[in-house]
Amino acid sequence: MIVCQPSEEIAAWVGGRIGVAFHPPYTTLAQIDRGRIIAGFVFNVWTEHDVEISLAADRLTRTLMRSVFRYVAHQLGCRRATARTRADNIQTQTMLTRLGARLEGRQQAYFGDCDGLLYAIMKEDFPYGLHAEGTEGA
């Protein structure tokens, strides 16, 4: 089951996994399996054309990624999504690249003990987006 709401529980779950605290306003999306969160997204710093996405997951499904795309592109009306990850988190960097994200820059000491890498996923490049299911997109 996928839930989309401004949930403190989901934000706390994601924040606990990635080592940050989220403060409203934000909204969240999560996949729940047998009553427990297996993947969660926090959407904040919405600027009309862009939204920052924070993610933690035990596993990602195509259904969940399509839901994320629909939310970002169709509900928020954004052309791009921005994500940051630790420079030492190779697994997340690989996942972001597979999702269509492009590295845009490095932020020194963003996480205190580690640099942050800034990625962007454009609406046109998201593999579960515009071209995923014919002309209608995801």
Q: What pTM does this model have?
A: 0.81
Cα within 13 Å of Cα(95), Cβ side:
17
pLDDT 10s digits, 30-51:
999 999 999 999 999 999 899 9
Cα R_g (the chain), whole angstroms: 14
Arithmetic mean of pLDDT over the chain: 85
Average pLDDT, stretch 10-37? 92
Dihedral of CA atoms 35, 40, 46, 51 in degrees, nearest 10, equals: -140
Positive or negative torsion for Cα 105, 109, 115, 120? negative
Q: pLDDT value at position 136?
A: 40
| Alpha carbon distance 109, 128 (integer Å) | 32
